Structure 1
Amino acid sequence: MTMEAAVQSNDDRVRVLGIAVARIAESWRLTNDQLGAILGLSPATASRLRSGAFRMEPQSKAFELGQYLLRLFRGLDALMGSDDEASISWLRTPNLDLAGRPLDLIRTIKGLGEVTHYVDDFRAHV
């Protein structure tokens, strides 16, 4: 792979993840405050991300957390049969196994990891 191709590939990853995260936020009706907390960004930066004016760089914590958010979305989407309302309901309902509402838990790195692993584990049993 040439250097130019590597840069192009990297730019594509950044762009695609940004679009995916913005669509997740829209699908789950996340506020900029919620999205920012999940990604470790300010609400203003989350707003710029949603509009395409901010890019999460691959070496950043926000990029890594965005990948986890995408993984959670894909897992939950598969469990809920692509029903966004069911996913929103699950996120906002207290979960006894997780000891809290998933939407509140994913505002921390630890919580995002735990909720993502929970959904992955649940899918493995289905």
Structure 2
Amino acid sequence: MATQPLEPQIDDGKVLTSAVSKIAGFWGFTNAKLGTILGLSEATASRLRSGKAELDPTSKSFEAGQFLLRLFRSLDALLGSDDLSARAWLTTPNLDLEARPIDLIDSFRGLITVCDYVDAHRARV
């Protein structure tokens, strides 16, 4: 009887929570800001960042976290891993988006819009 190799088990919630926490640190987000983006309370965002809670892979917050990671990766690729430039881009009024991206990402629709905008510019490179 041949044994089959075990598939590595990746804890998606743990991995994404760690990534989102690091992004919040790189971009200087407060717990309140991270909570707003993910649709969570400030206290829950604090627990995520301290490792005492994880994003639930079946939740809308997990999906928002995936989009935040997508935005981070896209900006990182576009701006050459320069976190200061990414922070500046997020906080500068954008004529195309008619707002500062940092303000738009507070809503799920805005987060998707900003992701799509950055991806569209990245595709031109």
User: With structure 2 as the length reference, what TM-score do the two structures score?
Assistant: 0.92
- Report the counterpart of residue 22 of structure 1 in structure 2: 21
Task: Name the one with the larger helix percent.
Answer: 1
Unaligned runs of 5+ in 2: none
- Report the counterpart of residue 33 of structure 1 in structure 2: 32
- Report the counterpart of residue 101 of structure 1 in structure 2: 100
- Report the counterpart of residue 121 of structure 2 in structure 1: 122
Over aligned residues, Cα RMSD in angstroms?
A: 1.5
Following superposition, the deviation at residue 14 of structure 1 comes to: 1.1
Fraction of identical pairs, as percent:
58
Counterparts of 2:13 and 2:55 in 1: how far apart (Å)? Answer: 6
2:80 is the alignment partner of 1:85: no
Deviation string, structure 1 residues 15-50 (Cα, Å, up to 9, x no partner): 110100000000000011110010000011101100
Deviation string, structure 1 residues 34-89 (Cα, Å, up to 9, x no partner): 10010000011101100111111110011000000000000001111000000000
Following superposition, the deviation at residue 5 of structure 1 comes to: 5.6
User: Whose Rg is larger?
Assistant: 2
SS at match of 2:109: helix
Counterparts of 1:100 and 1:108 in 2: how far apart (Å)? Answer: 13
Counterparts of 1:40 and 1:120 in 2: how far apart (Å)? Answer: 23
Counterparts of 1:5 and 1:33 in 2: how far apart (Å)? Answer: 37
SS at match of 1:22: helix
Counterparts of 1:80 and 1:44 in 2: how far apart (Å)? Answer: 32
Counterparts of 2:117 and 2:98 in 1: how far apart (Å)? Answer: 12
Aligned positions, number: 121
- Kindly report structure 1 stretches of 4+ aligned residues shifted beyond 4 Å: none
Following superposition, the deviation at residue 13 of structure 1 comes to: 1.2
